[in-house]
Amino acid sequence: MRIVFMGTPDFSVPTLTEIVSRGHEVVAVYTRAPAPSGRRGLDLTPSPVQVVAERFGIPVFTPKTLKGEEAAEQFRSLNAELAVVVAYGLILPTSILGAPELGCLNLHASLLPRWRGAAPIQRAIMAGDKETGIAVMKMEAGLDTGPVSLLERVSIGPDMTAGELHDRLSMIGADLMGRALAALERGGLDFTPQTDDGLVYASKIEKSEARIDWSQPAAKVHDTIRGLSPFPGAWFPLGADEARVKVLRSTLADGSGAPGEALDDGLTIACGTGAVRLVELQKAGKQPMGAATFLNGNDVPKGTQLA
């Protein structure tokens, strides 16, 4: 099939690679424009999808918006039968959604209709969900409201981080989209309309959510830590200078005390109820490190009160 691929981050790359490997003709890739980088923001870093697309020799478009007749005409001129959208980052207006003969398929990382929206992977873990999934749906004007064709369920381990779940869903999703395209070519891809039963929105992660609130129950603190790992990273201030320390891994632990109190010399920290043990941490400008290494250079003895 003649396909336009639309995606931006690392999560999108396996699906683009899968589509190419299955012999489809990717006539163009749409991705977000290169982002400023470097110390003064003067360098421009292309998206992971752009890097891979150029390696494949696929034409790349980086419009700031898809609104307007000029953008629609450019898209229509590609004569694509189908668009595949994976974490693109721009809203597709109706002029784009209706351009391909077979419409636009989207890969969404949740068990729709649960966790429609921007941050389904993080929100599922932060809510303590035991499973999530990834779905192929046909796009329409509403936010993640389109009918679903294929869906794969994935268990969320008790200590699994958002980064680990992201990588797993990315690979499963690539295979799922490949199967969806094969079925579509055979004329056998069926769609089931979504209902609003169990609907929950996965709103964008706000900066204010990243500071650890030790007064929360241990399970909630643990789920917040792993749901925000590795980015943006749940954090707490440490020392007289209140340097930010990100916690990238934790586990539930036995013990109780005042919220934020170190219960031993090994970073077991009391919460509102119960406790968590901090397993992997990162200070600003430093590499992630295990608890033992962190404690070699940071004094957090039993009785320390974390803010």
Going by the annotation, the residues of the binding site for (6S)-5,6,7,8-tetrahydrofolate are: 110-113
Q: Cα(116)–Cα(108) distance, rounded to whole angstroms?
A: 8
Tell me the CA distances in angstroms from 149 to 30, 183, 252, one per residue in order: 23, 10, 38
In the structure encoding, which two tokens stand for residue 299, read together? 């004094």
Answer whether 138's CB lies under 8 Å from 102's CB.
no
Residues β-bridged to residue 130: none
Binding site as annotated, residues: 110-113
Angle between helices 13-21 and 162-185 (to 10 degrees): 30
Spatial CA neighbour of 256 closest among 214, 299, 300, 197: 214
Per DSSP, the residues of 127-169 read: TT-SEEEEEEEE--SSTT-SPEEEEEEEE--TT--HHHHHHHH
Q: Beta strands 60-61 and 25-30: pairing type?
A: parallel
Answer whether 81's CB lies under 8 Å from 87's CB.
no
Answer whether 88's CB lies under 8 Å from 72's CB.
no
